[in-house]
Chain A
């Protein structure tokens, strides 16, 4: 039975109340690794948004027109991953060839996010929650923006941390993880405000 949640509700929910990073903890590794600098955070966030916006509806098409007709739903994990990998690779090559500035700001992050679990996660949620094509598209875009928002917030905090007085044992990854935990707790306050499935 297809979901009857409004596509726009899903869009806003995926940005704020059901943020894929802070409520589902997906895409944590690049979130922690790249959030040191504001500039690179924005670049990676934009790349994630772009890839999510394209691969989620792309995988919706693959799932509904290829996997379901052949009763191959159980193969979705592997198929989604190769679709994402191929798409990311193609995008990187195209950017590298045709747009130097875009490649500089976005392209070099693409190989990093081929294996970002938020990307695969969005495709799988879209299946589990039985979204329509349009909802999937908006869900992909929204999840990307939500991820961008989270990493930019994190990088802002980490910029402040550089001058902060932190116990030596917690410097670096330690304090970052604790802060990520606080942020996630704050976002948990939103949970349940908008139903996503």
Chain B
């Protein structure tokens, strides 16, 4: 009995050890691609890396961060990179995410393709700016019943320089039933000159992984890892009047943009339409009205769609799109900056084009 038990354990172990050794040897010979070079943006940066790994994780290990939401499983389709040379044909796992136009430019999913030889890629210049930061929670305060403002302070000596309107990714560590850390994107609400702090406005989403974490577990003094900045939602350098529309936590990038305009002494005409349901969903009104005095040509228009009796609201009433239509007049020469849910953005785009705004002058951040 004992003997047969020992024999079975020994034989299984032997088979496993043999196969494991085989894999180790294979990994060191067949799987060994040596050191290969990754050329980024025509020689702007050249990395020497160990070959054989997916492009996304290779770049991450070298401190070049490509935005990705699923962490390399090929399910979000965000980690697109233009590859100039050094990889083969499209893989079936990439094709669902790559359009015909993108195929013509050889845009690839960086988590699916592997770096097996010298390779040349092109990434947006601002991704070089992207870094990972260890931060400490300096302050958490309630803006409304379901929105919290979280202020993160960078480690001493570190600075982050987002353009006003860009976002960062917040790393949610494992907690509760969450067995691997995930990333979530949040717009930066603080102005760019404040390069040692990052302010976020986070609304509690029922059952949201990150928002639940922020609202129930995160406390002042905790450590938080972020990376960024990312995004092409920032103010274009023109003289056109600006129409900003955002409700709820969509205020974050708009606030950053407004404070940035103030700090630069801008004289652009800016109108900010801030939509909410009732009084209890409004926040930072004092700051915004104060900004009207500090920032020349800035008008703040808060509007409630369903004001309650006890709100005693005397401002604008109605859906934010109706308020915009009522107050804006012809917008052919204006620019718009929108931040909010896909439904709200689409509705706003419809109204703005109705007011003759060309679609290429409408910039938005859907979340």
Contacts and interface: CB of A to CB of B under 8 A. Distances in A.
Interface of A: 37, 40, 43, 62, 66-67, 70-72, 75, 78-79, 82-83, 86, 89-90, 93-94, 96-97, 100, 103-104, 108
B4 interface: yes
A66 B26 CA distance: 23
B349 to A, nearest CB: 30
Nearest to A107: B91
B75 interface: no
A70 B8 contact: yes
Nearest to B8: A72
Contact of B22 (A37, A43, A90): A90
Contacts of A67: 11
B23 interface: yes
Interface centre among A37, A78, A94, A96 (most CB of B within 10 A): A96
Contacts of B8: 70, 72, 75
B15 interface: yes
B309 interface: no
List 6 A-B pairs, minimum CB-CB distance, nearest first: A86-B19, A93-B30, A100-B88, A97-B30, A93-B31, A70-B11
Interface string B84-96: 0000110111000
Contacts of A94: 30
Contacts of A86: 19, 22-23
A108 B91 contact: yes
Nearest to A94: B30
A82 B91 CA distance: 27
B15 A79 contact: yes
Given A66-B15, A90-B23, 15 more contacts: A70-B7, A72-B8, A72-B11, A79-B12, A79-B15, A86-B22, A89-B26, A90-B26, A90-B30, A93-B26, A93-B31, A94-B30, A96-B114, A96-B116, A97-B31
Contacts of B91: 104, 108
B16 interface: yes
Interface in B71-102: 88-89, 91-93
Contacts of B93: 108
Contacts of A78: 12
Interface of B: 4, 7-8, 11-12, 15-16, 19, 22-23, 26-27, 30-31, 88-89, 91-93, 114, 116
Contacts of B31: 93, 97
20 contacts: A43-B92, A66-B11, A71-B7, A72-B8, A75-B8, A75-B11, A75-B12, A79-B15, A82-B15, A82-B16, A82-B19, A83-B15, A86-B19, A89-B26, A90-B26, A93-B26, A96-B114, A104-B88, A104-B91, A108-B91
A25 B359 CA distance: 54
B88 to A, nearest CB: 5
A94 to B, nearest CB: 6
A40 B92 contact: yes
A94 B26 CA distance: 9
Contacts of B15: 62, 66, 79, 82-83
B86 to A, nearest CB: 12
A104 B89 contact: yes
Contact of B19 (A37, A83, A96, A108): A83
A99 to B, nearest CB: 11
Q: In this complex, which of B4, B26, B27 has the most chain A Cβ atoms within 10 angstroms of its Cβ?
A: B26
A113 to B, nearest CB: 14
A172 to B, nearest CB: 15
Contacts of A62: 15
Contacts of B88: 100, 103-104
A80 to B, nearest CB: 11
Nearest to A109: B92
A94 B27 CA distance: 10
Contacts of B22: 86, 90
Contacts of B7: 70-72
A108 B114 CA distance: 12
Find the residue from A71, A86, A100, A108 having the highest chain B CB count within 10 A.
A86
A191 to B, nearest CB: 35
A94 B277 CA distance: 61
A108 B89 CA distance: 12
Contacts of B23: 86, 89-90
Nearest to B22: A86
A43 B15 CA distance: 31
Nearest to A108: B91
Interface centre among B7, B23, B92 (most CB of A within 10 A): B92
A43 B12 CA distance: 33
A90 B27 CA distance: 9
Contacts of A104: 88-89, 91
A79 B13 CA distance: 10
Contacts of A79: 12, 15
Nearest to B14: A66
A40 B8 CA distance: 41
Nearest to B27: A93
A33 B26 CA distance: 31
